[in-house]
């Protein structure tokens, strides 16, 4: 029996075939059972902010597991209070900020959805979200996710959510005094690393403010420094009413949070929400150590600088397949001129490089925030090799893609 047989028989079918089985990681590298090394530019989908097995992560998890892991939300613990205070500072909430801890991105967005309902009450039944944005796979967050094919097998959805285009005109047309909240994904990661138009977040802030609706920014993929600011909304110089975080803040430990600002912090009252595991001492100690290391090692600035360096190096590759780069910092989408992203991912893996294709014409790069010259140089070498493999296949198939067979 191979591991593929075991996975095919025992694991839920919703993920499709696993592409490899990894047994160990260190920094930006992964190893499979045969001892083959891979450069990891996916980092568990923007999760492993410090790479694999970082000493700060290992030390925090070991120390806290040996001290106190979990006591329930009937009680407080020092790591939980420290992380809450750190998140308030990094997110710029001021004194009135509050944190709800969950265990995933979806749970953070579920809390945000309930926050929107508490704010809206009977007078504001409308919730706006962006077409093509991704907010999660639970029934509530799926209702917020503007992708009909994802919702279709699970209809009916929780009512009240309306999807709009990511344009200032669409915002102006949709907002009125019956809107409880607008959900925004500041760079649409799962859709293919799609940037919002310039001025969109500022307009969203102005219009939601004008109509008394909450502006809720989903920073689950963009947060924890990935875009070159702690949170992507900070590039726009606005203050939202709430943000949600997960993925990168735990560095591989499952944790998520809803962070509220100002009046939105008063909406939840006793009994309105909860979680058994959320915010336990173990998870919050690890997230505190991960964010502390991002801060101490200057990794937010590193994400900004390495993002530019990586983009320039990719745009300098002489390949007829590359069409450009989207995204910000170390959340990058390489646009392809042909629908060959899956072939590029497969070719990359045979060359020892892990990347991901959120759609047929985009390669998503979300490496650890710790990457430097060595990782970028190696990435360019391996990525170029993978592109060559795919270009050769396209040339062989020249009739279908004449512009590549120059
Ligand atoms: C990954 C993601 C989620 C869902 O997070 P899970 O931890 O998978 O539930 C929600 N929103 C965005 C923007 C994401 O990237």
pLDDT tens readout for residues 121-170: 999 999 999 999 999 999 999 999 989 999 999 999 999 999 999 999 99
For the chain, the residue count is 406
Say if residues 190 and 220 touch (Cβ distance below 8 Å).
Answer: no
Residues near 359 by Cβ (< 8 Å), separated by ≥ 6?
191, 192, 341
Residue 398: per-residue pLDDT: 67
Q: Is 276 annotated as a binding residue?
A: yes
How far apart are alpha carbons 22 and 28 in whole angstroms? Answer: 13
Q: Is 219 annotated as a binding residue?
A: yes
- pLDDT cut 90: percent of the chain above it: 95
Q: How many CA atoms lie within 13 A of 178 on its CB side?
A: 8
40 - beta bridge partners?
Answer: 354
- Residue 21 CB neighbour total at 10 angstroms: 13
Burial environment of residue 354 by CB neighbours within 10 A (0 to 12, 13 to 18, 19 or more): buried
Catalytic annotation, pick one of 134, 183, 200, 233:
134
Catalytic annotation, pick one of 57, 88, 101, 218:
218
How far apart are alpha carbons 143 and 151 in whole angstroms? Answer: 7
Q: What digits encode the pLDDT tens for the residues 11-42? A: 999 988 999 999 999 999 999 999 999 999 99
Q: Are strands 161-164 and 126-130 parallel, antiparallel or unpaired?
A: parallel
The mean pLDDT of 227-250, rounded to a whole number, is 98
How far apart are alpha carbons 163 and 205 in whole angstroms? Answer: 17
* Backbone dihedral region for residue 104 (phi beyond 0: left; psi -120 to 50: alpha; all else: beta): beta
How far apart are alpha carbons 290 and 86 in whole angstroms? Answer: 11
- Residue indicated by tokens 């329930």: 72
Given the CA of residue 254, which atom of ligand 1 is nearest to it? 7
Q: Are strands 356-359 and 353-354 parallel, antiparallel or unpaired?
A: unpaired
Say if residues 120 and 176 touch (Cβ distance below 8 Å).
Answer: no
How far apart are alpha carbons 346 and 387 in whole angstroms? Answer: 10
Q: Are strands 37-40 and 353-354 parallel, antiparallel or unpaired?
A: parallel
Residue 199: per-residue pLDDT: 97
Q: Are strands 37-40 and 161-164 parallel, antiparallel or unpaired?
A: unpaired
Q: Is 210 annotated as a binding residue?
A: no
How far apart are alpha carbons 336 and 405 in whole angstroms? Answer: 16
The rounded Å distance from CA 134 to ligand 1 centre is 7
Residue 105: per-residue pLDDT: 98
Given the CA of residue 137, which atom of ligand 1 is nearest to it? 9
At 405, the pLDDT band (50, 70, 90 cuts) reads very low
At 406, the pLDDT band (50, 70, 90 cuts) reads very low
Burial environment of residue 316 by CB neighbours within 10 A (0 to 12, 13 to 18, 19 or more): exposed
Residues lining ligand 1, judged by CB closer than 6 Å?
104-106, 109, 134-136, 185, 189-190, 218, 220-221, 246-247
- pLDDT cut 70: percent of the chain above it: 98
Over 60: is that where the pLDDT of 402 sits? no
Which among 15, 46, 132, 221 is the best mutation to test ligand 1's pocket, defined by most ligand atoms within 8 Å of the CB? 221
Given the CA of residue 141, which atom of ligand 1 is nearest to it? 10
The mean pLDDT of 229-253, rounded to a whole number, is 98
Report residue 206 as tokens: 């102005």
Residue 156: per-residue pLDDT: 98
Q: How far is CA 364 from CA 13, 43, 273, in A?
A: 23, 11, 35
Residue 321: closest CA among 259, 376, 225, 389:
389
- Residue 384 CB neighbour total at 10 angstroms: 17
pTM of the model: 0.97
How far apart are alpha carbons 184 and 233 in whole angstroms? Answer: 10
At 373, the pLDDT band (50, 70, 90 cuts) reads very high
The mean pLDDT of 398-403, rounded to a whole number, is 54
Residue 395: per-residue pLDDT: 82
Residue 175: per-residue pLDDT: 98
Q: What is the mean pLDDT of the chain?
A: 96
The full set of domains in the chain, from first to last, is 3-54+301-398 (3.90.1150.10), 56-297 (3.40.640.10)
335 - beta bridge partners?
Answer: 324, 362
Say if residues 128 and 183 touch (Cβ distance below 8 Å).
Answer: yes
**247 included as an active-site residue:** yes
Where is 32: in which H helix or E strand? strand 29-32
Say if residues 214 and 355 touch (Cβ distance below 8 Å).
Answer: no
The rounded Å distance from CA 45 to ligand 1 centre is 10
- Residue indicated by tokens 């992560």: 57
Over 80: is that where the pLDDT of 397 sits? no
Report residue 20 as tokens: 């490899």
Over 70: is that where the pLDDT of 399 sits? no
Report residue 24 as tokens: 């160990």
More confidently predicted of 1 and 247: 247
Report residue 356 as tokens: 């991901």
Over 80: is that where the pLDDT of 396 sits? no
Say if residues 364 and 330 touch (Cβ distance below 8 Å).
Answer: no
Residue 344: per-residue pLDDT: 98
Residue 403: per-residue pLDDT: 53
Residue 401: per-residue pLDDT: 53
At 271, the pLDDT band (50, 70, 90 cuts) reads very high
Q: What is the DSSP letter of 266?
A: G
Positive or negative, the Cα torsion across 303, 366, 359, 379? Answer: positive
Over 70: is that where the pLDDT of 378 sits? yes
Q: Is 268 annotated as a binding residue?
A: no
The mean pLDDT of 305-332, rounded to a whole number, is 98
Residue 367: closest CA among 12, 72, 29, 34:
29
């Amino acid at each position: 029996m191979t591991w593929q047989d075991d996975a095919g028989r025992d694991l839920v079918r919703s993920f499709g075939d696993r592409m490899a089985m990894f047994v160990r990681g260190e920094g930006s590298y992964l190893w499979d059972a045969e001892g083959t090394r891979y450069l990891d530019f996916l980092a568990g989908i923007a999760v492993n902010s410090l790479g694999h097995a970082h000493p700060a992560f290992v030390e925090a998890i070991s120390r806290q597991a040996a001290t106190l892991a979990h006591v329930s939300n009937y009680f407080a613990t020092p790591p939980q209070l420290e992380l809450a205070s750190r998140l308030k500072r990094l997110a710029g909430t001021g004194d009135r900020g509050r944190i709800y801890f969950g265990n995933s991105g979806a749970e953070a967005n579920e809390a945000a959805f309930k926050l929107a309902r508490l704010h809206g009450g009977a007078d504001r039944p409308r919730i706006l979200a962006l077409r093509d944005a991704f907010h999660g796979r639970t029934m509530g967050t799926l209702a917020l996710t503007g992708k009909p094919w994802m919702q279709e097998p699970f209809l009916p959805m929780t009512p009240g959510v309306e999807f709009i285009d990511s344009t200032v005109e669409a915002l102006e047309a949709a907002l009125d005094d019956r809107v409880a909240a607008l959900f925004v994904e500041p760079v649409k990661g799962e859709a293919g690393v799609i940037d919002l138009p310039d001025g969109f977040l500022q307009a969203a802030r102005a219009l939601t403010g004008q109509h008394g609706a909450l502006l809720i920014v989903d920073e689950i993929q963009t947060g924890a420094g990935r875009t070159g600011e702690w949170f992507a909304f900070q590039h726009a110089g606005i203050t939202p009413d709430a943000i949600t975080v997960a993925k990168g803040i735990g560095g591989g430990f499952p944790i998520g949070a809803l962070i509220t600002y100002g009046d939105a912090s008063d909406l939840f009252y006793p009994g309105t929400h909860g979680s058994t595991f959320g915010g336990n001492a173990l998870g919050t100690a690890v997230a505190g150590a991960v964010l502390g290391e991002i801060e101490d090692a200057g990794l937010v600035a590193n994400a900004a600088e390495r993002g530019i360096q990586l983009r320039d190096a990719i745009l300098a590759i002489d390949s007829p397949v590359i069409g450009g780069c989207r995204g910000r910092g170390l959340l990058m989408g390489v646009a392809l001129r042909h629908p060959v992203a899956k072939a590029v991912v497969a070719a990359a893996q045979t060359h020892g490089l892990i990347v991901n294709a959120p759609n047929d014409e985009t390669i998503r790069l979300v490496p650890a925030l710790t990457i430097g010259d060595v990782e970028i140089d190696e990435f360019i070498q391996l990525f170029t090799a993978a592109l060559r493999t795919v270009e050769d296949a396209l040339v062989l198939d020249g009739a279908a893609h004449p512009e590549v067979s120059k």
